[in-house]
């Protein structure tokens, strides 16, 4: 049957594919090399939570800030009190 | 030196002997991976991963079954896991197919018609094999790629021989149904 023959042809073609001659060496090298532990799956979660917390705390602090304006008091100074002109009038020459 | 002796030596600490097992079985594992993945590079990567798994779980091998059967089980499970992961990346595959079709139309100057027909047939067969239910596919691939007997397949898949026979029969029927029109020119 044509379909069967085509399937067999496809399978034979795939079976003829040869692996890299250095595959065994690659496998042994991989086994002999200690693997670095992959980063924990929680790491991105913790980082995201920290980032969100920082933003929330920042917004909270920003909202809670109450500006303190300096209390302006009216200063009324009578110049005539500062400089007593009468002083100059107490001149003995006169 | 038998597989059992090699494994005992490795378990005693003579780890360099693992190379003997790799040399002996790499082709077998590679062919199994090719059957599932249809790509040399992917099959090589998976073969490597399978041997790393075998290495890390060799201490748990008790010799209840033959080493080759145990290795086949690990290989088949790894292949199925990889295939299932790949199915999630369907979009990328479609993009690759699209790029391939562009490439083939551009480079197909000489006997392009024949080449395209052959590619279409191969693609149809690959698609038909890949669309088989996973147990039928596993039995079929072990039968035709690794040329295992029904008894051996039954041991690897931990099923009865009768069940394997049924799986193979169904796989063949399904393939013929799926390939009936596009392949039978």
Quick check: B48 and A30 CB within 8 A?
A: yes
ipTM above threshold 0.85: no
Quick check: B43 and A28 CB within 8 A?
A: no
Domains identified in chain A, total number: 1
Average pLDDT score over chain B: 86
Q: Which residues on A lie below 8 Å from B176 (Cβ)?
A: 1, 3-4
Question: Quick check: do B1-88 and B131-180 share a fold?
Answer: no
A·B CB contacts under 8 A: 73
In a domain, A13, yes or no: yes
Structural tokens at position B61: 């091998």
Q: Give the pTM.
A: 0.69
In a domain, A46, yes or no: no
Q: Mapping DSSP to helix (H, G, I), strand (E, B) and coil, where does residue B131 land?
A: coil
Predicted confidence band at A85 (pLDDT cuts at 50, 70, 90)? low
Write down the residue that tokens 């197919």 correspond to.
B97
B14-64: pLDDT as tens digits:
888 999 999 999 999 999 999 999 999 999 999 999 999 999 999 888 888
> Are the C-beta atoms of residues B117 and B176 closer than 8 Å to each other?
no
**Residue B152: CB atoms within 10 Å:** 19
Helix axes B112-130, B134-144, angle to 10 degrees: 120
Instruction: Indicate the burial class of B108 (C-beta count within 10 angstroms; 0-12, 13-18, 19 or more).
Output: middle
In a domain, A61, yes or no: no
CA pair distance A28, A58, nearest whole angstrom: 52
Q: pLDDT at position A40, please?
A: 75
CA pair distance B79, B29, nearest whole angstrom: 10
Across residues A24-39, what is the average pLDDT? 82
Q: What is the CATH number of domain B131-180?
A: 1.10.10.10
Quick check: B44 and A7 CB within 8 A?
A: no
- B22, B126, B176 ranked by CB distance to A24: nearest: B22
A53-81: pLDDT as tens digits:
999 999 999 988 887 776 677 777 777 67
Closest Cα in chain A, distance from residue B46 (Å) = 11
Quick check: A2 and B126 CB within 8 A?
A: no
> Are the C-beta atoms of residues B138 and B80 closer than 8 Å to each other?
yes
Q: What residue spans define the domains of chain B? A: 1-88, 131-180
Q: What is the CATH number of domain B1-88?
A: 1.10.1740.10
* Residue B63 phi, psi dihedral angles, 5° rounding: 85, 15
Average pLDDT score over chain A: 82
Provide the 8-state DSSP code for B71.
H
Give chain B's radius of gyration (CA, Å).
19
Q: Domain span at residue A7?
A: 1-36
Structural tokens at position A14: 């795939």
Quick check: B35 and A14 CB within 8 A?
A: yes
Q: Does A20 touch chain B (CB under 8 A)?
A: yes
> Are the C-beta atoms of residues A28 and B19 closer than 8 Å to each other?
yes
> Are the C-beta atoms of residues B180 and B128 closer than 8 Å to each other?
no
Structural tokens at position B118: 């052959």
Structural tokens at position B140: 């079929």
Quick check: B34 and A17 CB within 8 A?
A: yes
Nearest CA in chain B to A16: B31
Provide the 8-state DSSP code for B184.
-
- Helix/strand/coil (H, E, C) string of chain A? CHHHHHHHHHHHHHHCCCCCCCHHHHHHHHHHCCCCCCCCCHHHHHHHHHHHHHHHHHHHHHHHCCCCCCCCCCCCCCHHHHCCHHHHHCCCCC
């Amino acid at each position: 049957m044509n379909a069967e023959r085509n399937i067999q042809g496809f399978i034979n073609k795939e079976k003829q594919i040869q692996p890299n001659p250095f595959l065994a060496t690659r496998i042994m090298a991989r086994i002999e090399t200690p693997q670095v532990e992959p980063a924990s799956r929680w790491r991105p979660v913790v980082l995201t939570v920290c980032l969100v917390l920082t933003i929330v705390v920042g917004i909270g602090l920003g909202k809670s800030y109450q500006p303190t304006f300096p209390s302006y008091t009216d200063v009324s100074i009578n110049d005539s009190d500062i400089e007593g002109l009468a002083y100059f009038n107490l001149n003995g020459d006169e | 030196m038998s597989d059992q002796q090699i494994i005992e030596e490795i378990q005693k600490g003579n780890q360099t002997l693992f190379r003997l097992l790799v040399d002996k079985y790499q082709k077998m594992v590679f062919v199994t991976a090719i059957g599932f993945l249809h790509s040399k590079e992917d099959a090589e990567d998976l073969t490597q991963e399978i041997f790393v798994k075998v290495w890390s779980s060799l201490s748990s091998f008790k010799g209840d079954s033959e080493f080759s059967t145990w290795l086949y089980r690990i290989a088949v499970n790894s292949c199925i896991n990889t295939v299932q992961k790949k199915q999630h990346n369907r979009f990328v595959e479609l993009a690759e197919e699209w790029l391939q079709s562009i490439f083939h139309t551009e480079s197909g100057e000489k006997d392009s018609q024949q080449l395209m027909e052959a590619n279409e047939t191969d693609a149809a067969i690959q698609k038909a094999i890949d669309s088989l239910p996973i147990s039928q596919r596993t039995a079929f691939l072990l039968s035709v790629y690794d040329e295992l007997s029904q008894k051996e397949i039954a041991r690897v898949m931990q099923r009865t021989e009768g069940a394997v026979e049924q799986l193979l029969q169904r796989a063949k029927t399904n393939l013929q149904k799926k390939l009936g029109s596009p392949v039978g020119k």
